[in-house]
Amino acid sequence: MTDTATLYRDLLQRAAVLSDLQQVSTLLFWDQETHLPRGAAEARGQQKATVGTIVHERLTDPALGELVEVLEAADLPGGSVEAAAVRQMRRSIDRAARLPVALVEELEKHTARSRAVWERAREERDFRAFAPELERTVELKRQEAEALGYDDHPYDALHDLFEPGSTTARLREVFTPLRRETAELVRAIGASGRMVDDRVLHQPFDEGAQHRLALDTVRAFGYDLEHGRLDVSVHPFTEAMSKYDVRITTRYDAQGFAMALFGAMHEAGHALYEQGIEDGYYRTPLEDAAGLGIHESQSRLWENLVGRSRDYWEGAFPKLQRIFPQQLGGVPLETFYAAINKVEPSFVRVDADEVTYNLHVMLRFELEQALISGDLSVADLPTAWNDFMRDALGIAPPNDALGVLQDVHWSAGHFGYFPTYTLGNLMSVQLFEAAKAAHPALAQEIREGRFATLLGWLRENVHRHGARYLPDELLKRATGSELDAGPYLAYLRRKYGEIYALT
Ligand code: ZN
């Protein structure tokens, strides 16, 4: 009889090789999105497929399955690192075993094609060109949900891939009042009669200066450039090859610095999380984040709760004025602060402000569920989209490129992903409030451009744990509370009540 410690060591050895392979795969993706010559796309697809096959073979190796089974029966102490590592490995091997190889391959092939069709359809504002592709995607995602298994709603199976333990029913419970109260706030802001002038943001800004500003800002937050780098990509993203190599991207707009700066803050929030994971979890099943909702809570915390706060700009605005004296030299702080927080119903999610953003997410959440359950047909999708927009935001997109065709997610087969954006927003405030309660001087430190205390709290309570806890448990341990939309709504009312002089 082999003792548990030896078996666990065996598990870790297998996990380490899997981790290396996955990191290689991530590097191939990062390179594809940043530097890959266009003519190499097909060869890159082959390389990724081969690595993916090796990972799949290793995950479905019966010897690994037996090892996990024996360790599950071995009575590892509940809540221990070892028990968590076995749980994470169980998730990975179950997913690999339940999904038929043929389905995975078809999804990959289909989404590669459908993404290309979507790009063209969006350019030509022609949903009908994309509809047959999307119909097939929905069919394949339904098959995927059935293969993965679920208790209540097929959407659960797909959403759980991004946010372990989260369910459709729980999302609905949290989102329903959030939608109602957000819509009320949007109406109140619209009725306030206060117009925010954001013209100061739309002027020519030198791209080199924008790049230096982004870099200085994320470095000040604590992003470690010895273990990271900032590049340019069409869609900004963060990828961790391991906690020792966490790279971010942003993009530059010659007519405004806001996109690059807030984008970099956002990605740095993701990167700080990855860089903060316990060293001892490197190449183990615990080296990943707990879930995408928690991940997004970190990006939104730095982008919005720090980066769009008055506290931050009281310290940072004079520096910004020195970098761009011609554009911002004569602008009062209050004008600038209101401009970067302007609330306006808009068509495009990625451009949405903090108040309206979650309505864009809830739209997608509703429609995705209905597509997966079969209550909504792809042909009726644009109408359903525009009806929701009219109802929630009082506007309807003039064309499908600004409507149902705007996001890449569905073309890539990502169903169940969108809700993590709102989960992230909600949790960002819950975590920030907990950090402020633990460190009452935090606001003052942020005014002075000092972030070590905040980062330290996040490291201690969120980052270092990696995938040791499921998202719910991690949030509970960090804040003492369950997921709750209350703090986020209170934050919005406080901040925007002031900006828009609401009573
Ligand atoms: Zn993000």
Span 129-168, pLDDT tens digits? 999 999 999 999 999 999 999 999 999 999 999 999 999 9
Residues measured by CB to lie within 5 Å of ligand 1, the ion: 299
pLDDT at 426 over 70: yes
CA of 75 to the centre of ligand 1 (A): 37
Which of 85, 89, 475 shows the shortest CA–CA distance to 280? 85
Q: What's the pLDDT score for residue 115?
A: 86
State the Cα–Cα distance between residues 291 and 300, nearest whole angstrom.
15
pLDDT tens digits for range 432-460? 999 999 999 999 999 999 999 999 999 99
Count Cβ atoms within 10 A of the Cβ of residue 437 and give its class: 0-12 exposed, 13-18 middle, 19 or more buried. Answer: exposed
* Proportion of the chain above pLDDT 90, given as a percent: 91
Assess whether 48 and 179 both reside in one domain. Answer: no
> What are 460-488's pLDDT values in tens digits?
999 999 999 999 999 999 999 999 999 99
Residue 239 inside a domain? The answer is: yes
> What's the 238 CA to ligand 1 centre distance in angstroms?
8
Ligand 1 geometric centre to CA of 271 (Å): 10
At 59, the pLDDT band (50, 70, 90 cuts) reads very high
Structure tokens at 144: 């995927």
In a shared domain, residues 110 and 18: yes
Cβ(287)–Cβ(269) below 8 Å: no
Concatenated DSSP letters of 353-418: -TTTHHHHHHHHHHHHHHHHHTSS-GGGHHHHHHHHHHHHHS---SSGGGTTTS-STTTTT--S-T
Write b or e for each residue in 42-55: b if 16 or more Cβ atoms lie within 10 A of its Cβ, otherwise e.
Answer: eeeeeebeebbeeb
How much distance in Å is there from the Cα of 409 to the middle of ligand 1? 13
Summarize the confidence of residues 258-270 as an average pLDDT.
97
Cα(13) to ligand 1 centroid in Å equals 31
Q: Is residue 295 part of a domain?
A: yes
Q: Using an 8 Å Cβ cutoff, are 421 and 357 in contact?
A: yes
Percentage of the chain exceeding pLDDT 70: 100
| Residues 124 and 187 both lie in one domain | no
Domain assignment present for residue 442? The answer is yes
pLDDT for 30 equals 92
Q: Which domain holds residue 448?
A: 168-499
pLDDT of residue 90: 97
d(CA 362, CA 419): 7
Answer positive or negative: Cα dihedral of 56, 61, 65, 67. negative
| CA-closest candidate to residue 234, choices 83, 115, 88, 369 | 115
Greatest Cα-to-Cα distance within the chain, rounded to the nearest angstrom: 77
**How far apart are alpha carbons 82 and 204 in whole angstroms?**
54
**Same domain (yes/no): 141, 233:** no
Domain assignment of residue 38, yes or no: yes
- Let me know whether 196 and 99 are in one domain: no
Q: Scanning the structure block, which residue is given the tokens 């979890």?
A: 281
For strand 245-250 and strand 228-232, is the pairing parallel, antiparallel, or unpaired? parallel
Number of independent structural domains in the chain: 2
User: 443: which 2 tokens?
Assistant: 């606001």
Q: Is 159 a member of any domain?
A: no
Distance 283 CA to ligand 1 centre (A): 24
297 within some domain: yes
Judge contact between 7 and 71, C-beta under 8 A.
yes
Q: How far apart are CA 246 and CA 226, in angstroms?
A: 10
Interval between CA 267 and ligand 1 midpoint (Å): 6
> Are residue 266 and residue 385 in the same domain, yes or no?
yes
Asked if residue 155 is part of any domain, the answer here is no
Question: Do 197 and 95 lie in a common domain?
Answer: no
> How far away, in angstroms, is 58 Cα from ligand 1 center?
30
Average pLDDT over residues 254-267: 96
pLDDT tens digits for range 352-388: 999 999 999 999 999 999 999 999 999 999 999 999 9
C-alpha 377 – ligand 1 centre gap (Å): 29
Asked if residues 167 and 159 have their Cβ atoms less than 8 Å apart, the reply is yes
CATH number for the domain harbouring residue 318: 1.10.1370.30
Task: Decide: pTM greater than 0.85.
Answer: yes
From 117, 149, 181, the end of a domain falls on: 149
- Distance from the alpha carbon of residue 14 to the mean position of ligand 1, in angstroms: 30
Same domain (yes/no): 81, 185 = no
307 CA → ligand 1 middle, Å? 14
Ligand 1 centroid from CA 292, angstroms: 8
CA pseudo-torsion sign 188, 489, 260, 315: positive
269 and 193 together in one domain: yes
Distance 342 CA to ligand 1 centre (A): 20
Provide the annotated active-site residues. Answer: 267
pLDDT digits (tens, 9 = 90+) for 6-22: 999 999 999 999 999 99
- Arithmetic mean of pLDDT, 31-39: 88
480 and 331 both lie in a single domain: yes
With a cut of 90, say whether residue 233 has pLDDT above it: no
Does 319 lie in the same domain as 179?
A: yes
226 and 141 share a domain?
Answer: no
Asked whether the beta carbons of 227 and 268 are under 8 A apart, the reply is no
Out of 81, 114, 149, pick the residue that ends a domain.
149
1 pLDDT tier (thresholds 50, 70, 90): low
Backbone angle region of 165, left / alpha / beta, with phi > 0 → left and psi within -120 to 50 → alpha: left
Is the distance from CB of 427 to CB of 299 less than 8 angstroms?
Answer: no
Domain boundary among 149, 178, 197: 149
What is the per-residue burial (b if ≥16 Cβ within 10 Å, else e) of 154-172?
bbbbbbbbbbbebbbebbe
Establish if 157 belongs to a structural domain: no
